[in-house]
């Protein structure tokens, strides 16, 4: 898997100050995508153990609320498989002291549907570690800059592990 960029002090992609990993590769090709170059699976740099270490170190300070995955599309099958070992490391290191947000152009229902191409052998485990899922494709005609943590009004913020929020 490749990644497009890492933001170590991000306040735009989830609650609190976060470390955000923008993965490469996306087959949604949403019209008006804000990160079009990251649709290419070969864009950016290789996601290595050293990059994982760098992200984990960036997450250590107490003021960092957690990790956000976006892209590209973190829930592309190949990206899910590459991210799972890293997410296991993050959970082993931080437990529930840091939250995991995932932005996806898929809907939660597509990810949970075992007959969907988006559901892989690792999807359920990734979703079980996810605190917040921001789902749905970006729809340029529904773009609304007043929305918090979303680009278009069809996208949902779903609290996966603490639904009463």
**pLDDT at 120 > cutoff 70:** yes
- What pLDDT score was predicted for residue 134? 97
pLDDT tens profile 8-45: 999 999 999 999 999 999 888 777 777 778 888 999 99
Dist CA 85 CA 112 (whole Å): 20
Query: Phi, psi (5° rounding) for residue 92?
Result: -65, -35
- What pLDDT score was predicted for residue 165? 45
CATH 3.40.30.10 given to domain 2-159 = no
Dist CA 73 CA 3 (whole Å): 10
Q: 165 or 125: which carries more pLDDT confidence?
A: 125
Range from 35-39, 55-59, 107-111, 125-129 carrying the lowest mean pLDDT: 35-39
Mean pLDDT of the chain: 93
Q: Give residues with Cβ within 8 angstroms of 102, minimum separation 6.
A: 68, 69, 70, 74, 75, 126, 130, 132, 133, 134
Mean pLDDT of 76-94: 97
Query: Phi, psi (5° rounding) for residue 79?
Result: -75, -40
Query: Per DSSP, what are the bridge partners of residue 85?
Result: none
pLDDT band at 164; cut points 50, 70, 90: very low
- What pLDDT score was predicted for residue 162? 65
- What pLDDT score was predicted for residue 150? 92
């Amino acid at each position: 898997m490749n990644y497009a960029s890492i933001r170590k002090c991000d306040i735009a992609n989830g609650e609190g100050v976060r470390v955000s990993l923008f993965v490469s590769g996306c087959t949604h090709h949403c019209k008006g995508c804000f990160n079009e170059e990251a649709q290419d699976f070969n864009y950016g740099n290789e996601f290595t153990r050293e990059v994982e270490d760098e992200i984990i170190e960036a997450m250590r300070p107490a003021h960092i609320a957690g990790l956000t995955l976006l892209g590209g599309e973190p829930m592309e099958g190949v990206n899910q498989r590459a991210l799972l070992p890293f997410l296991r490391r993050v959970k082993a290191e931080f437990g529930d002291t840091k939250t995991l947000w995932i932005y996806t152009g898929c809907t939660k229902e597509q990810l949970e549907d075992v007959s969907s191409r988006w559901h892989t052998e690792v999807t359920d485990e990734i979703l079980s570690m996810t605190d917040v899922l921001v789902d749905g494709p970006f729809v340029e005609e529904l773009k609304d800059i007043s929305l918090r943590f979303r680009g278009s009004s069809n996208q949902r913020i779903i609290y996966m592990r603490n639904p009463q929020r």
